[in-house]
A and B are shown apart, each in its own frame.
Chain A
């Protein structure tokens, strides 16, 4: 007889969980989509973050070196991530002699890098290396190239030069070179060098002369070649030698770090990016996944309640829900993670295209981001599944069965209260932009929006129920049947309606606050720089690595030029104390001289820009207050090349958004920048056409110079849209598509689960047309509720943002955004309800009733 009954002696609960899921494909699809998208976004962010921490740059022009000794281009705060120092710190030349004596060393090369640009016979700039600020080297540096293909002979005389193959120049050609900011000199090409990262090479003696600044003989770095297999031994010996000098000894994959001092900045950017994306991605992934699981488990409430009746403990019910959800999530995890790696690759390419990242910086691909994603999502799924099953699991069994046929009678009080508290907290936080007129202050607006939307998701059911009841009370007796039904449904199924309204509202809030926060800051920044830039022109020489000496004098002699002042940008590290806690920040700073007052007006409220002499700085009023850096105070700074110094605050200015939080004096920075040259010259003229013409003529007469109008650009940065704005907008698009996809899925799943209800309505004589009308009216209510609540939640933070940044209670941004969002929400709501309803109506009602 037991051949009919093959149950094994041990009965695990887990397979039951699986069998219960197997027949619920539509609903599970929503969960799968949520997890898939979440896994992709989390993994992608993780890959960016890990690359920021661990990726290695290709060794480029140092590919032939076995060991490189260079200054440490990072500042290491206590217990925090290192901060990049973007200006080259140099190595004393005396070190070379000591190194060449080490056993196992076959060659020691002191490498010099200095600004150099080539100009052909036609007066056009010939592109050389990626970075013209350090394109010039001595001939001996060619020993550090990886397998260079050199034709010709080494440059020997002061008028000889070797050029990279990419320039297309040939041996014997005549070419002009602007090196180290000196006037152009004619050289004869004696060699063509074909190797990755090759620059322009001069005879060693010439190179030393061209590069020497302040007469000090210092190298950018020292490259060593070693006997085979001696590398690590020599490196260890070297590390002993340089211990305590602030120099680093790099080998193998680390060598790429030494090529250019700014690479650390790109990696810091990746870390920052991953950090800021991580928070929002995690919030949205959690929200979407929890929502999808909520719908899925709500659909199984009856099954779970029945299991309670036949003896499942509350804990078992929650375990069952969690196990089942985990299995479904696991299915989506692997492809999601794979997509995440691809996504990170695409994102990296886009960043490289925009010049935000050096194209050579590769992504680190390791299993760590996948692992982190797995853990985070597993946690999210377990918590949300248990949360969703909590109520059903804890009820007495009889009540659970009875309730499973309709909805839980009342949304729980704790949930509603938590929701209101979150919204209140969000409102309180949204005043931040009034006090901190910085990018961080604006970021608060976006976070506030999301927090408020989560609050809405929690107190939504109570709100929907109240609003629905009010609407039903006001109905007139002759209201059409579909409208009456639709409103009755909204009221009776408040949880279900709220579950759909809240993610839609979240999409509205998210898009509005996030986009407007970006565009408002951008508008305020532009306003600041426009108002604060008196100069009409910016003269620079990017292809030469900096302006040749004497440019300023030449410009000042032109008729109609009122004022011309050199400016540049650098990054300094600023250790400070805030609320009694030591902190340290890497601050982009504008380099300016006392005569900047003639071309810039950063809104000085105390002190004078003209006092920017010696070791002085000007600070924005934002940081002056918060960091105890008022007029006359002394602040500690670590300059871009790692030099520790102290500077006195000579001025405090108001236009911090446009000019950054710090302006450092040119004298303070002198000798502490990579190129040592003036980056650009701001020129104020009398505004006449003559002045414009003579400036244009001057530019044309000096190859390599570039003249721009300042009206299109800011004075601190050269790009019109800062990369972070662009990155944030790209993020919005990705996250919004994820949100919309999951919302659509959820709506479809919710409608599919109403098949029985639809069938029951048909059985009592509701025509398909009436049912469709009813569903459409529900869709209208849902879309309207989502739009109204989303706009209400965004209104306060955005008004405060506008007030704080632009002095008016509304934000700046594209006018089409609001109608665009409204159209998207309405379309999503209608399509995702209409289509499954039509599908449900195709089935005979009696069948639908039986099948449940």
Chain B
């Protein structure tokens, strides 16, 4: 099965993500994001780094439509989501955004197969069976579909979460510390998979991490501090990133 041939994507007319003067303030006047502007082109693997509390998770949540910003504009695949209500945001999200979480967030009472197709089910969309079967084979979960999450290893669970994120062919996949809970080998496998997706399928991936080694697999890395982007690095290396983070007094 050749993944590349099944997924010829029309060139996206708009950036996958476009943020403009994005601000998020929490009660008590805590500014988690301070007028962040950012554009992610389709087919980019972007890593967002920063010490705890730098605003990287908030950035991802707002950019992905999981949370609504206090002010500013968020466009996903050309669609403005700021100002939409919870339901409309959810609908847009499940059409165009895939998620991979640090804690996998698989639903324990459902089988892996049900977990993978859940977003499609919720959207009332028919699954592209060949596409999903190809993904399942690519991540090596064939034969595990009828198991429940607790019966799989962490790496397997995260790969299942990856298939779930890609099942609806989203414009962008967000990964929140996808390797944070994995051992070195599993972490390496998952990162390898993400990179392959970008290189072979032109999938846009935005990954939030504090692990310089993980971020080094990306095309581009942003370093955040105090709710702002303080540095952008093309083709970063792990030592380079580690140094920046240490300089920020974190890690």
Contact = CB atoms under 8 A, between A and B. Distances in A.
Interface of A: 1-2, 4-5, 7, 9-13, 16, 19-20, 22-24, 303, 306-316, 394, 396-399, 401, 850-852
B119 A311 contact: yes
A306 B105 contact: yes
A308 B134 CA distance: 26
A397 B107 contact: no
A16 B114 contact: yes
A313 B137 contact: no
24 contacts: A2-B133, A4-B137, A4-B142, A5-B132, A5-B145, A7-B127, A7-B129, A11-B117, A12-B121, A16-B110, A16-B121, A20-B107, A20-B110, A303-B107, A309-B66, A310-B99, A310-B119, A311-B118, A313-B90, A315-B87, A316-B122, A397-B66, A397-B90, A399-B67
B127 A11 contact: yes
B121 A13 contact: yes
Contacts of A23: 109
Nearest to B168: A311
Q: Which of B67, B108, B132 has the most CB of A within 10 A?
A: B108
A581 B93 CA distance: 59
B38 interface: no
Interface string B130-145: 1011101100001101
A386 to B, nearest CB: 15
B113 interface: yes
B88 to A, nearest CB: 9
A308 B108 contact: no
Nearest to A5: B133
A386 B68 CA distance: 24
B118 A310 contact: yes
A396 B86 contact: yes
Nearest to B128: A9
A23 B111 CA distance: 12
B247 interface: no
Interface of B: 1, 61, 66-68, 86-87, 90-91, 93-94, 99, 101, 105-111, 113-114, 117-127, 129-130, 132-134, 136-137, 142-143, 145, 150, 164
A313 to B, nearest CB: 5
A4 B101 contact: no
A5 B146 CA distance: 10
B81 to A, nearest CB: 12
Nearest to A20: B109
A309 B87 contact: no
A311 B133 contact: no
B93 A311 contact: yes
A355 to B, nearest CB: 56
A2 B124 CA distance: 21
A303 B108 contact: yes
B109 A303 contact: yes
B49 to A, nearest CB: 20
Nearest to B144: A4
Contacts of B136: 4-5
Contacts of A16: 110, 114, 118, 121
A4 B129 CA distance: 10
Q: Which of B107, B119, B126, B137 has the most CB of A within 10 A?
A: B107
Given A7-B129, A313-B87, A852 B108 contact: yes
Nearest to B134: A1
Nearest to B104: A306
Contact of A309 (B1, B101, B117): B101
A11 B133 contact: no
Given A303-B107, A311-B123, 8 more contacts: A4-B136, A12-B121, A306-B105, A310-B122, A312-B90, A313-B91, A314-B87, A396-B67
Contact of A307 (B107, B126, B143): B107
A303 B108 CA distance: 8
A619 B3 CA distance: 94
